[in-house]
Amino acid sequence: MASASTSSVSLARPCTASSQYVATLMGPPTKLPTTATQRPHTRPLRLAWMLLLMSMALSHPLPASTASASLQIYVDGKRGNDQWSGGLPTPNTKRTDGPLQRVQSAYDRVSSADTTIYVKEGTYREEIRMDRPYRVIIRPFPDSSGRPIISGAEKIPTASWKKCGATTCADLQNHPLLAAIHYVDLPFQTNQIFQNDVPLPRSRYPETGYLYPHQGTDSTRNTLEDPVLKEMGASLTGAICHVRTRPYLINHMTVLSHDAGRVTLAGETKFPISHDSGYFLTNLPSGIRRPGQWAFDSAKNRLYLYPAAGLESVEASQRDHGFLTTGQSLSSHEISGFSIQKTNKAGIWIRKAAGFSLVDNLIEHAFLYGIHAAASDRLRIEKNHIRKANSIGIYVGRDSENATISDNAIYATGAENYGDDLVAGRGVAIFSYSGRARIHNNRIDRTGYDGIYLGGNVSGVDVAYNHISNVMLSLADGGAIYTGGYSPPPLIDRIHHNIIEHAHGYSGGVNRRCVKKSMELCRGGAHGIYLDERSSQRVIENNAVINASSGVFLHWGGDNRIESNLLFDNRVSQAMLKGRDKTEFRLRNNTFTNNILFAREKDQKTLSITADHSGFSFAAANNNYFLSPYTVEHISVQRPRRSDNLSLRDWESLTGYDVDSRDVLADSPRSLDYTRARVLLNPSLTEISVALEGATYCDLRGMKIGASARLLPFQATLVVPCDH
């Protein structure tokens, strides 16, 4: 039994799928519990399941038996030659045969089932297009000490840059930094620029914060007017306008034309643009103001850059993908052990495939998706590290079934720090429409929006043993785990044994008080587990949620089971239920039992129910633990024309529910100091022991725990000082 402490560690380092530390947010201080809290673990893992997952190591190569194949093709970018057979790992002595030079050349040689392509470490600037209807494995050399790199970027020769002048950069002739800006004409389109492998920022106007249109409310979806833009004087055509039309949505639209402060967008926003729809512009040559900023004129294929560290080692993303399928109904491909970088769209793009395995790849700086798979069956997406995808880390689209998404580490999807701009797409770590998906043991840290988004109706999904932290750094009104949609029984989705910490919510662009990136001014709704409109047939059990707006938010749904969860120090309410006076949106037939609801601060509620209909009902609500160290009136009930703060006994008298539930403060020994309660967490698949130092601790019943606490995999336990 391993030993672990609960001290917090900065996330300046990359996260890993098996990390056991408590995450803290860089930048503005994050509210953290002084320790960890937990509830008794009521569903221990079966031994066979534990042994299976514990045996999975985040490493390569794959077992030798996996790599056995009737045909082997070798690729060496430095010593290979595409005129050779590819049948030898090294050139022969006469240099008449040996490995191929390009991965695509090797793939094009596949002509039968069971082929393995071995790729030597090195950098391969190519896009591998897959269309062979055979079993193909693509992986590093067996003795490789590093990952082959598939790069979507091309280096820009230093000598090709030119300095801007009044005639060569006529659009910038009045720019105050004209002499400092350089340009280069590229033979391709790009949306990402790097220097020494570090992404450079696009120009932005305004430099910080949001502007607000002057038009009337809900007047248009493709134009906005603002006198500030008229005063800029420069052409805005080709810039990207980022318009936030909802707390949970920012639209990224190209500017089609600009005339006297009126901007016409190339498409329509999802919701109408109003005077409360904050916006900002990027990719604007006239907006370059700081060293390192750039803008790309897509009409001229011209890149503008204000150099911060010279013009050496600058790269521009050219290729859309690292790997992609182009054939129909491909099956049984495996891609493992690669580093895929700097693509314009996705690291790996799959469509209409079956039995694909994507294992142990490092995918960084994909402009949209780390992995994108659509209309595919039996996907295996495991042990990948996906860092800084702008839109979605792992996407499994509609018409997909039986996906396994497990043991992945997904970091900084859409945002890395509080208030970061979401410049493309959704900002979601895992977005899945797959029926009967298994989403297990993923480490997710830092997202612009949701951690895990389950799209569509109930479909037999199992979401378990995930550790999710620091979500909704750019948007609000979402969840660390979000789902919605109605389906009749017997099919259910299960969300269980997940640990969620720090759902923040950022309201810049929809809240005019948010004038700087301050959590005090800019907080927005950010829930732990969010069951949205018409959610039904979901089982939510044995999860721990700490420091969100609410631990579990049930929004207009029925026929769900919420059981045995630990909800601690959530800013508004530990559990929040809302119903609407419409048949499919009523609170009905939900089960709410055996939960711990700990309101750690004075203004927090244990349970909050809002319904504009009478007669909201539970299938069962009982055996819950309610606790606020400051008041016994910690349950909020809002009904038509009435709002009440109730004690547990008042709630029981009003509804008849929670007869056997406990108000812990009223029923427990007074010697327990609930203001210093801690939550102990084990976000791993191994059993650990946590030392309890500096005080004597008891459980909620007042029973002393001892010098240490034993935690099973993904267990969370609440402990309370009881020195007296």
Half-sphere exposure of 77 (CA within 13 A, CB side): 16
Q: Is residue 14 domain-resident?
A: no
Residue 686 · residue 575 · CB < 8 Å: no
> Parallel, antiparallel, or unpaired: how do β-strands 314-317 and 339-341 relate?
unpaired
d(CA 70, CA 81): 22
d(CA 586, CA 570): 24
User: Minimal CA–CA distance to 577: which of 552, 606, 605?
Assistant: 552
Which residues, 6 or more positions from 614, have their beta carbon under 8 angstroms from its beta carbon? Answer: 639, 640
User: Minimal CA–CA distance to 591: which of 624, 549, 623, 619?
Assistant: 619
User: Minimal CA–CA distance to 294: which of 191, 369, 173?
Assistant: 191
Q: Is residue 1 domain-resident?
A: no
User: Minimal CA–CA distance to 169: which of 73, 288, 86, 339?
Assistant: 288
Q: Is residue 437 domain-resident?
A: no
The β-bridge partners of 678 are 719
> Parallel, antiparallel, or unpaired: how do β-strands 452-454 and 428-432 relate?
parallel
d(CA 330, CA 138): 15
Residue 293 · residue 175 · CB < 8 Å: no
d(CA 307, CA 309): 6
d(CA 54, CA 11): 24
What pLDDT digit, counting tens, does each position of 79-127 carry?
A: 999 999 999 999 999 999 999 999 999 999 999 889 999 999 999 999 9
Helix boundaries (H) for 516-589: 519-522
Q: Which amino acid is at 582?
A: K
Which residues, 6 or more positions from 701, have their beta carbon under 8 angstroms from its beta carbon? Answer: 668
d(CA 537, CA 559): 6
Cβ atoms within 10 Å, residue 441: 26
Give the chain's domain count.
Answer: 1
Q: Is residue 217 domain-resident?
A: yes
d(CA 271, CA 279): 14
End-to-end alpha-carbon separation of the chain, Å? 31
| pLDDT value of position 724 | 61
Residue 580 · residue 612 · CB < 8 Å: yes
User: Minimal CA–CA distance to 596: which of 549, 545, 559, 556?
Assistant: 545
> Parallel, antiparallel, or unpaired: how do β-strands 662-663 and 314-317 relate?
unpaired
Residue 43 · residue 541 · CB < 8 Å: yes
d(CA 41, CA 45): 10
| pLDDT value of position 253 | 97
Tell me, what DSSP letter sits at residue 677?
A: -
Which residues, 6 or more positions from 377, have their beta carbon under 8 angstroms from its beta carbon? Answer: 353, 354, 355, 400, 401, 402
Q: Is residue 47 domain-resident?
A: no
What pLDDT digit, counting tens, does each position of 138-185 carry?
A: 999 998 889 999 999 999 999 999 999 999 998 898 899 999 999 999
State the residue range of the domain holding 291: 155-316
Q: What are phi and psi of 674, to 5 degrees?
A: -70, -20
Q: Which parts of the chain sit beneath pLDDT 50? A: 1-69
Q: Is residue 199 domain-resident?
A: yes
3-state secondary structure of 107: helix
User: Minimal CA–CA distance to 282: which of 424, 162, 125?
Assistant: 424
Report the C-alpha dihedral over residues 655, 659, 663, 666, rounded to 10 degrees.
110
Which residues, 6 or more positions from 316, have their beta carbon under 8 angstroms from its beta carbon? Answer: 153, 154, 156, 186, 188, 190, 192, 193, 194, 303
CA 532 to chain CA mean position, Å: 18
User: Minimal CA–CA distance to 421: which of 343, 347, 475?
Assistant: 475
d(CA 5, CA 8): 9
Which residues, 6 or more positions from 21, have their beta carbon under 8 angstroms from its beta carbon? Answer: 7, 8, 9
| pLDDT value of position 530 | 98
Q: Which amino acid is at 15?
A: C
